[in-house]
Amino acid sequence: MKKEIPKHYDHSLYEEMIYRRWMEADAFAAIPDDRENTYVIMMPLPNVTGALHMGHAMDNVMQDLLIRWHRMIGDNTLWMPGTDHAGIATQAVVEKRLFELEGKTRHDIGREALVEKIWAWKDEYQQRIIKQLQSMGSSSDWERARFTMDAVCTRAVREAFFRFFRQGLIYHGDRLVNWDAQLQTAVSDDEIVYEKIQGHFWHMRYPVIDPKPGEPQHVVVATTRPETMLGDTAVACHPDPAGELDRLSCLLSERIKSAPKKEKLQLEETLQEVEERKKKPIAPSPQAQRNDRAGKEDLSPAGRARDPPHSG
């Protein structure tokens, strides 16, 4: 009886068998020799925060194409694989899972138990990532695979930082950091999720002490961050607000003449706002208002003392 040919190709019947044969033959091994031409790609290490996605697939296919081509033309070729610990990101994933499954935080279970759970997560997803890469046919030298916190990598990092410090290339300094209020630690810029929200203007009313005739009784400052009021030592006022509005009006009018169509509408709206503001009365104000309780230095000879603000 004749064997019927399947109507559709089932890759699972062949790809695993072929890849296993490649692995048994060490077909991807890179061994130093006397060849003049070499070619190396360091795989952008996927994070062990979770499984690979379509972006990883697209990137690794391109790398694999280049690696296989250089092998075929006779270059000594290495595609160096590995996985990245991802630091705070992996900790955040594990802590989230811990709270969802057990209703606990890292403070409840302690440092050692948390570290143990993070390593267990790493082992699980590292194997899953490698399996995904191999299922795609990635021809990396798997015997060389590294994890960024294994003994080899951590020793190399310590050695590199020690050398940089000894050469004066790095130093300890005070820096602004992104503090995660939930994790109670600092996170890097690329681990921050930026989100636009509808803000609110707070108006701080600074009473002026002993104003001169014609000067305002209060100076009002609008801000979206009222907490900065606690660090205020002075309020600087424009010496010629009417003149500044005239300058802005002329500047916007000139920009509108040469602006592209998509920007012209926004500029015209801004100009209209400036013109409307010019119609409102502008009370004369001293060149600077300062709190004489905050320090001895004046912003200008025309300074006026003021009280701390009342929010509203």
Strand partners, 185: 180
Q: What is the pLDDT of residues 270-282, one digit of tens each?
A: 999 999 988 887 7
Residues ≥6 apart with Cβ < 8 Å to 167 = none
In a domain, 238, yes or no: yes
Domain that holds residue 281: 202-311
**Which has the minimum average pLDDT: 19-23, 84-88, 294-298?**
294-298
Question: Do residue 31 and residue 118 come from a single domain?
Answer: yes
Question: Do residue 122 and residue 229 come from a single domain?
Answer: no
Question: Do residue 183 and residue 213 come from a single domain?
Answer: no
In a domain, 239, yes or no: yes
Q: What is the pLDDT of residues 40-59, one digit of tens each?
A: 999 999 999 989 999 999 99
Residues ≥6 apart with Cβ < 8 Å to 310 = 204, 205, 207
pLDDT-derived band of residue 254, with 50, 70 and 90 as boundaries?
very high
In a domain, 243, yes or no: yes
Question: Do residue 255 and residue 165 come from a single domain?
Answer: no
- CATH code at position 154: 3.40.50.620
Of the candidates 162, 189, 216, which is a domain's last residue?
A: 189
Question: Do residue 114 and residue 93 come from a single domain?
Answer: yes
State the DSSP string of 132-146.
HHHHTT----GGG-E
**Taking the model in full, what pTM does it have?**
0.58
Question: Do residue 104 and residue 41 come from a single domain?
Answer: yes
Mean pLDDT for all residues in the chain: 85
In a domain, 4, yes or no: no
Distance between CA atoms of residues 219 and 4, nearest Å: 90
Q: What is the pLDDT of residue 305?
A: 58
Question: Do residue 184 and residue 35 come from a single domain?
Answer: yes
**Number of separate domains in the chain:** 2
Question: Do residue 281 and residue 217 come from a single domain?
Answer: yes
Tokens (6 digits) for 226: 């009222």
In a domain, 3, yes or no: no
In a domain, 195, yes or no: no
In a domain, 6, yes or no: no
pLDDT at residue 32 greater than cutoff 80: yes
pLDDT at residue 179 greater than cutoff 80: yes
Of the candidates 160, 189, 218, which is a domain's last residue?
A: 189
Question: Do residue 35 and residue 147 come from a single domain?
Answer: yes
pLDDT at residue 201 greater than cutoff 60: yes
**Which has the minimum average pLDDT: 49-53, 156-160, 243-247, 303-307?**
303-307
Question: Do residue 210 and residue 183 come from a single domain?
Answer: no
Which candidate, 238, 249, 245, places its Cα nearest to that of 284? 238
- Strand ranges for the chain from DSSP E: 38-42, 76-80, 82-83, 146-147, 178-180, 185-187, 202-207, 218-223, 234-236, 288-290, 304-305, 310-311
Of the candidates 156, 189, 222, which is a domain's last residue?
A: 189
What is the pairing mode between strands 82-83 and 146-147? parallel
Question: Do residue 263 and residue 184 come from a single domain?
Answer: no
Question: Do residue 22 and residue 109 come from a single domain?
Answer: yes
pLDDT-derived band of residue 304, with 50, 70 and 90 as boundaries?
low
Distance between CA atoms of residues 243 and 197, nearest Å: 34
What is the pairing mode between strands 178-180 and 288-290? unpaired
